[in-house]
Amino acid sequence: MTSPLHHLQRAGRLERLFINGHWILPEGRERVSVICPSTEQSLCEIALGDARDAERAVLAARGAFPVWSATPPQQRAALLGRIHALLLERSDLFAAALTLEMGAPIGYARSAHVPLAAEHLRVARDNLASYPFIRPRGTTAILREPIGVCALITPWNWPIYQITAKVGPALAAGCTVVLKPSELSPLSALLFAEIVAEAGAPPGVFNLVSGTGAEVGATLAAHPQVDMVSITGSTRAGVLVAQAAAPGVKRVAQELGGKSPNIVLPDADLAQAIPPGVVAAFRNMGQSCSAPTRLIVPRNQLDRVHQLALAALGQMKVGDPMDAATTHGPLANRAQFERVQQMIEAGLRDGARLLAGGPGRPEGLARGFYARPTIFSDVHANMVIAQQEIFGPVLAILPYDTVEEAIAIANDTVYGLGAHVQGTDKEQLRAVAARIQSGQVHLNYPAWDPQAPFGGYKQSGNGREYGIEGMEEYMEVKSVLGYYG
């Protein structure tokens, strides 16, 4: 397998930013180590940009916007198609980078992280090809126009997936972008900048500035020449970005935290409902904002739920993410490892029943940010582990006596990003879904749909990503009266 580190070092990418079509040295000299989560050792150092670099990138994007926004949709779609093809062509390189930088098992990086990221590009390309930018409404024309320069701030947990979920529709809409990836998992972002350049993006249309949220993120959010900010991250980070953006009255799209419920209705087939629920809660080592980490089940079926949940857990193997047999690797960074340990201790203090896992590393793993997949039962809705986002492999089982109580438990959270409902009565499934306060609801574990808009209620954010709605997020609406008079 080609080493992404060797590739990036040989090309001189680690010490450079991508601005206005060129790989350039940053204005400052700050560097940060990229830590391998499976060894806790430094992989390399990358250069961090500062406010001056963010300024250069914004001005480059502003300069490119008039021409790019007027480019025919078929030309923009062609660029997206070339980026999509290059991402698939180099899928092994991207997968290896993800394994190194954030601990994704190589098999999962290949089967989920990279192909799902590619799907965002394909969907953006295909939607653009048939999108009606002008629609009649009587004698009025409703126009959709690109909003302008967009700052895109992406997280460390699904690095390339979140990049394509933003860059694809933004470019499709006719916007120019400045990407600030997480400095904790930057390798896949640098590889992505390479393929955007190779695909022939005009100078200034796509720019990448590595840096911290406090420096580069804050500069981008407050910059008067930035028309929109799209951030995926914690609710705390989303609030800070919105506050910085507020004086400019710019649009802010936020995909933030979650504490997603999974309601198992009384008529559900537990053998079909519980094992996939455990797998979904622990996907990406629990580091998914929409992971259904609250399993809400009938109290009178609790023993059977326990049996099935433990059996599902027994199929998981935590270990070296480069091992093809590994299903779950380390947590992505030290801060997240420590957060998960604290939350497991909080569950024990609050009196939740520990079914499996617990504090510390799994047996045989003395080094690396490995955590024990943990299941608590007899969890009450007011416990810390039922209210706060853990962002790790911790599942809380909450029993209920009535469906009304189950719905109340599901909605008893400040978040509202994703939800699941399991059962056999289709009408009841739909009725329960209608009453859950979340931006997306999955009924009986359907296939992932890249056209399904994704976003949150309440403190899970605002705005939508994916599909047509994801592209429209990067557009302004203009009505021209008398257009058809």
Residue numbers annotated as active site: 255, 289
SS (H, E, C) the chain: CCCHHHHHHHHCCCCCEEECCEEECCCCCCEEEEECCCCCCEEEEEECCCHHHHHHHHHHHHHHHHHHHCCCHHHHHHHHHHHHHHHHHCHHHHHHHHHHHHCCCHHHHHHHHHHHHHHHHHHHHHHHHHCCCEEEECCEEEEEEECCEEEEECCCCCHHHHHHHHHHHHHHHCCEEEEECCCCCCHHHHHHHHHHHHCCCCCCCEEECCCCHHHHHHHHHHCCCCCEEEEECCHHHHHHHHHHHHHHCCEEEEECCCCCEEEECCCCCHHHHHHHHHHHHHHHHHCCCCCCCEEEEEHHHHHHHHHHHHHHHCCCCECCCCCCCCCECCCCCHHHHHHHHHHHHHHHHCCCEEEECCCCCCCCCCCCCCCCCEEEECCCCCCHHHHCCCCCCEEEEEEECCHHHHHHHHHCCCCCCEEEEECCCHHHHHHHHHHCCCCEEEECCCCCCCCCCECCCHHHEECCECHHHHHHCCEEEEEECCCCC
Q: How far apart are CA 478 and CA 87, in angstroms?
A: 35
